[in-house]
Structure 1
Amino acid sequence: MPAFPDGEPAPETGELPAASSDGAAARPFAVYVHVPFCRVRCGYCDFNTYTASELGPGADRQDFAATLGREIALAQRVLAGFPARPLDTVFFGGGTPTLLPARDLAGMLATLRDAFGLASGAEITTEANPDTLTPAYAQALAAACFTRVSIGMQSADPHVLAILDRTHNPDNVASAVAAAKSAGLACSLDLIYGTPGESDESWRHSLETAIGHEPDHISAYALGIEEGTKLGAQVRRGLIDDVDPDVQADRYEIADAVLAAAGYDWYEVSNWARPGKECRHNVHYWKNSDWWGFGPGAHSHIGGTRFWNVKHPRAYAERLIRGVSPAHAREVLSPEAREEERIMLGIRLREGLSIPPTGKDAIPTLIADGLIDGAAAIKGRVVLTLRGRLLADRVTYALLGVR
């Protein structure tokens, strides 16, 4: 698959190419807010996160909301020439956004609303650690116009949680879900499968426990062992086994069967939801809509231009204090690259995508191999089968004409 370039320097003004606004009125506009703080760093995580003790004044939790406000003001200036587009979705991720006081999340959302407006029925989500989502916190989120929370359950097996370095109390998942529901918030649970030491039985138990909480939405992700993580070092030293792709494929099939039987439909390779409860923000990513990523290390995509912020919170804050964009680099996608991304991202959705010209010759083989739905292909669309979801990269290569 063609590799994307490292990017070119981003202008300090944050200015985007004039063509970025072409057709913008027809594209939804979303926002991601990266909150980089965690109580501890989990052994498997390679996200851009920091514990409180690592950061000093100007980059710590107390200053974060004010610093983010500076980037929102910059984005408002950069997008002044675009058609007015109220935000369709806002997603606070991390890190652990709920380590911040609820008033800080509310304040950042209010600043975004003042800058861009919120669409009618806007979806506003925050990720949450089960130990931090109390009834009072959930009520404060609801009062600030948040509509849903995504709770990091990961597993119901204490042994698996220990391997992942997850420190939350598993019993608090139930209380966090109850707090969200009592506040009128929709609820999603995040799970991880394929952890060394996990069994089919423990994975089924995690799924059934999650379903028992009756969330609206469940995400399930295969564990990846990443370089530079504690878990990666343990695998390298032989202290724990590496992940087994065949075992992870088995666990995915278990997840799909158990979730489907409980009324959760897959709508994206790693996401299942009750009808009408899909995460719209997720879908914006897979459809390559416009979104601005705020916060250290956050990535954005506006009208075919991708750009990404400096990673460290101190460098991020210092640039904004100087009045310059925190963007480190950017990439202006060619029409060919945009088509490649349409294929790579769109294939993950249940609705699939129209058959691309580069992939027409591969369709008969993909059908014969049981990777795509033959009836959908007759109608001109590529829709993954269950086997195809497990081998989505193979389908993508074929559709791109890569041998």
Structure 2
Amino acid sequence: MPSILPDGDPVPSDGALPESAIDGLGTRPFGFYVHVPFCVTRCGYCDFNTYTAAELGPGASRDSYAETVIAEIRMARRVLGDVDLPAETVFFGGGTPTLLPPGDLGRILGAIEAEFGLAGGVEVTTEANPESVDEAYLGRLREAGFNRMSYGMQSAREHVLATLDRTHTPGRVPQVAEWTRAAGFEHVNLDLIYGTPGERDEDWLASLDAALAVRPDHVSAYALIVEEGTRLAARVRRGELAAPDDDAMADRYAMADERLSAHGLSWYEISNWAAGPAARCRHNLLYWTGADWWGAGPGAHSHVGGTRWWNVKHPAAYAARLDERVTPAHAREVLGAEDRRIERIMLEVRLADGCPADLLDDAAVERLIADGLLDRQAYDIGRACLTPRGRLLADAVVRDLT
């Protein structure tokens, strides 16, 4: 959840949405995102809207956080009316959601179920750091209805973890994965980062092999981005660390795709590989395909029917607004038809299934096919799909298409 909030239009104090957003509600997939903004320490590369205990300040507390989020869930029900709207996915992100007691996470999930219902086969995910859970904690989460865990592994090399300011040891991940399976979780994702200063090809391959050794059914691999305002950016600026190298990043991505594919994990989005459709992150697919979701928590973003809004950033301001029974939304935007078309292209072209050809300019597509970035056969049957080379240059492809 990015820490910088964009500008936008004012939101009514009761959070009411325009008719254009409500129209069709219930005919599109619907999910919930719950942002938990607490961390033990701040990683040097992270610019998410998170707070350590020292940074939190007065007016916000982990102890009361669950009740505050539940108040927003109840507000969401009032705003969205009485439309039958069971959540197909619920995703707890952060921060480190598992710094809250499992009972608190369970109560939040229970509030979503009480207000909206949970669809049959609902996907319920929480992110976690490997050191933030143990066997008993995972057992309680599973009893509460969670069925998917996503762990921030990042690397299997201690010197890479140290550069990222990660606090877990590489050996923690296999232990946690074993506990997760023993608790009965259906799906396990591992997040990896490549391109950290000082990381070598052999380090990255070792991380991929260590991740595969614990048999996850989903792996996310992200190129390191040096975000302004982070400790990592300051170190790069001072010359203490080298900036990530684009050629090395491309090589590491190719290594990841080759290694993961060889072990039965197929890419379905540029940075995500899964062991078949059932293992794909259905919640993220809501984002990538323009479905509806409500984001609860400070700084959380929501989207319903072409209207996007985002909550105030600080936990204290967020709690104060809900105490006053007014929307915690900071601002919003209503997307026009052209905005929605461009957004579909930006997101869907990153998927293995691509985006519909009728959204695109034929001349631009033909140029990209000639350059080897889009697949000719897919386009002939109505889809614009990236080639392997196109995946490496996806941002440039999107610029040409939009």
- Match of 2:399, SS? helix
Moved over 6 A (4+): none
* Count of matched residue positions in the alignment of Structure 1 and Structure 2: 396
Structure 1 position 176, deviation (Å): 1.0
Show the counterpart of 1:176: 176
CA distance in 2, matches of 1:110, 1:52: 27
CA contact (8 A) 1:359 1:398 kept: no
The 10-residue stretch of structure 1 (357-366 or 259-268) with the greater mean CA deviation from structure 2: 357-366
Aligned-residue CA RMSD in angstroms? 1.3
The 10-residue stretch of structure 1 (349-358 or 195-204) with the greater mean CA deviation from structure 2: 349-358
Structure 1 position 244, deviation (Å): 1.1
Show the counterpart of 1:287: 289
Alignment of 1:281-360 (within 5 A): 281-360=283-362
Show the counterpart of 1:244: 245
Alignment of 1:2-401 (within 5 A): 6-56=7-57, 58-81=59-82, 83-185=83-185, 186-275=187-276, 276-400=278-402
Structure 1 position 265, deviation (Å): 0.2
CA distance in 2, matches of 1:158, 1:200: 15
| Aligned residue type for 1:86 | P
* Sequence identity percentage: 57
CA contact (8 A) 1:160 1:197 kept: yes
Structure 1 position 54, deviation (Å): 2.4
The TM-score with structure 1 as length reference comes to: 0.96
CA distance in 2, matches of 1:239, 1:192: 20
- Match of 1:396, SS? helix
- Match of 1:131, SS? helix
- Match of 1:61, SS? coil
CA distance in 2, matches of 1:136, 1:313: 28
CA contact (8 A) 1:52 1:61 kept: no
CA distance in 1, matches of 2:128, 2:281: 16
Structure 1 position 55, deviation (Å): 2.4
Structure 1 position 64, deviation (Å): 0.4
Structure 1 position 357, deviation (Å): 4.7
The 10-residue stretch of structure 1 (390-399 or 224-233) with the greater mean CA deviation from structure 2: 390-399
Structure 1 position 184, deviation (Å): 1.3
Structure 1 position 133, deviation (Å): 1.9
| Aligned residue type for 1:147 | N
Structure 1 position 379, deviation (Å): 0.7
Query: Which consecutive unaligned segments of at least 5 residues does structure 1 have?
Result: none
Structure 1 position 380, deviation (Å): 1.4
Structure 1 position 369, deviation (Å): 1.1
CA contact (8 A) 2:341 2:359 kept: no
- Match of 1:62, SS? coil
CA distance in 2, matches of 1:381, 1:222: 26
Query: Which consecutive unaligned segments of at least 5 residues does structure 2 have?
Result: none
Structure 1 position 5, deviation (Å): 7.8
Structure 1 position 24, deviation (Å): 2.0
Structure 1 position 169, deviation (Å): 2.0
CA distance in 2, matches of 1:172, 1:56: 31
The TM-score with structure 2 as length reference comes to: 0.96
- Match of 1:92, SS? strand
CA contact (8 A) 1:360 1:399 kept: no
CA contact (8 A) 2:345 2:359 kept: no
Structure 1 position 393, deviation (Å): 1.6
